[in-house]
């Protein structure tokens, strides 16, 4: 179990965390960590004008804001026509080039990448919104023999449901 900073959690706090986890939906989060002044400059707006727009987007439930970050919500991704499902990408790698391929794959937009045994060498879990970019970049890596991608339709079992 991971040790947390500060006072230990009470049984009630653990119970609350478990309940929140069981009630939660898994989501990919897209976060921007740019200063508002930099975003405003890029858009050709004043920081104050950008702030008004951000407030309206937050009130509409399309973004969450905090000190130094802006998260896009799943509703925002739907507005943009982007799916939030995950995709599994199976990769077959040329054995002599494994280490160089692994290095390049680490820099790509994947949530997780696993080395596995069997017919394939790697499994990458990629947000569907990043799948085209991931596949485009992976196809240019010397040593990648083949890829196969599979987009998640729905989850039929949530791990850790009965903690």
What's the pLDDT tens digit per position in 52-63?
A: 999 999 999 889
| Structure tokens that stand for 82 in this block | 């982007």
CB 51 within 8 A of CB 88: no
Between CA 124 and CA 44 the distance in angstroms is 38
> Mind listing the pLDDT tens digit for each residue in 27-45?
667 788 899 999 999 999 9
61: left (phi over 0), alpha (psi -120 to 50) or beta: left
Q: What angle do CA 90, 94, 98 make, to 5 degrees?
A: 85
Between CA 153 and CA 74 the distance in angstroms is 16
State the sign of the Cα–Cα–Cα–Cα dihedral 95, 98, 99, 101.
Answer: positive
Phi, psi of 145 (to 5 degrees): -80, -45
* Complete domains list, the chain, with CATH: 30-79 (1.10.10.10), 86-151 (3.30.70.920)
Between CA 30 and CA 22 the distance in angstroms is 22
The secondary element (H helix, E strand) that includes residue 42 is helix 36-43
* Confidence band, pLDDT 50/70/90 cuts, at residue 80: confident
Q: Model-level pTM? A: 0.57
Q: Which residue has the higher pLDDT, 162 or 131?
A: 131
* Confidence band, pLDDT 50/70/90 cuts, at residue 1: very low
Strand-pairing partners, residue 154, are none
């Amino acid at each position: 179990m991971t040790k947390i900073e500060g006072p230990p959690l009470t049984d009630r706090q653990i119970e609350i965390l478990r309940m929140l986890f069981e009630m939660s939906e898994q989501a990919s989060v897209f976060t921007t960590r740019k200063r508002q002044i930099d975003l405003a400059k890029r858009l050709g707006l004043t920081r104050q004008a950008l702030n008004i727009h951000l407030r309206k987007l937050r009130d509409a439930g399309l973004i969450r804001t905090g000190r130094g970050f802006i998260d896009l919500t799943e509703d925002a991704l739907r507005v943009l026509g982007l799916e939030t499902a995950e995709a599994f990408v199976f990769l077959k790698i040329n054995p002599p080039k494994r280490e160089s391929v692994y290095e390049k794959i680490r820099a790509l937009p994947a949530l997780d990448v696993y080395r596995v045994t069997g017919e394939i060498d790697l499994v990458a879990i990629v947000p569907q919104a990043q799948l085209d970019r991931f596949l485009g970049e992976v196809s240019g890596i010397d040593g990648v023999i083949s890829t196969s991608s599979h987009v998640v339709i729905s989850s039929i079992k949530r791990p850790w449901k009965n903690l």
